[in-house]
């Protein structure tokens, strides 16, 4: 016999799993790994369901957990040794790995703010609520995080040469 809490979690799961998987896919670029991250995020949600279900920022909480898990998974993954596909695939993988590394280097609050806003498509006010800070503080985290990401990604790619590219 299902408890009321279990039924409400099931409804939340159906809504949040695709969103968490999509967010993780944007960071990892691999569907299976993204689904694993989403499943882990929802398992952690279930473990804390009594508390999480009452949060006004429940969705943001779940997506923040998924963001952190995806970043951790990206850190543990080894980049592919050889890609047999076109340069576009190599470029996409390089950009994705660079983004994960750049996100990892941000302070935790900036990383969470950027991921919630731009990878989870939350409004700025929802980001502030999820982080438990004022809207102006959330905007500060977003601005500083984006400035740092732009600088690190620009500097990292500015020096790259495409020596193996074939016309």
Determine the average pLDDT of the residues in 151-165.
54
In this predicted structure, what is the pLDDT of residue 163? 32
Residue with tokens 């620009």: 154
Q: Which two tokens stand for residue 93?
A: 């993988």
The CATH-assigned architecture of domain 4-158 is: Orthogonal Bundle (1.10)
- Cα distance between residue 164 and residue 118, in whole Å: 32
In this predicted structure, what is the pLDDT of residue 100? 83
- Cα distance between residue 133 and residue 10, in whole Å: 29
In this predicted structure, what is the pLDDT of residue 162? 31
Residue 115: closest CA among 157, 72, 56, 79: 72
In this predicted structure, what is the pLDDT of residue 115? 87
What is the residue extent of each domain of the chain?
A: 4-158
pTM more than 0.75: no
């Amino acid at each position: 016999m299902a408890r009321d809490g279990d039924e409400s979690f099931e409804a939340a799961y159906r809504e949040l799993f695709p969103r968490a998987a999509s967010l993780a896919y944007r960071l990892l670029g691999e569907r299976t790994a993204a689904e694993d991250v989403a499943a882990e995020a929802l398992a952690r949600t279930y473990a804390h369901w009594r508390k999480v279900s009452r949060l006004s920022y429940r969705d943001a909480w779940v997506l923040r957990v998924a963001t952190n898990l995806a970043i951790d998974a990206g850190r543990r993954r080894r980049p592919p040794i050889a890609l047999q596909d076109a340069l576009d695939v190599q470029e996409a993988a390089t950009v994705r790995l660079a983004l994960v590394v750049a996100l990892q280097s941000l302070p935790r609050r900036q990383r969470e703010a950027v991921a919630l806003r731009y990878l989870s498509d939350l409004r700025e006010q929802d980001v502030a609520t999820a982080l438990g800070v004022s809207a102006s503080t959330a905007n500060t985290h977003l601005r500083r995080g984006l400035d740092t990401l732009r600088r690190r990604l620009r500097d990292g790619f500015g020096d790259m040469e495409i020596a193996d590219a074939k016309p």
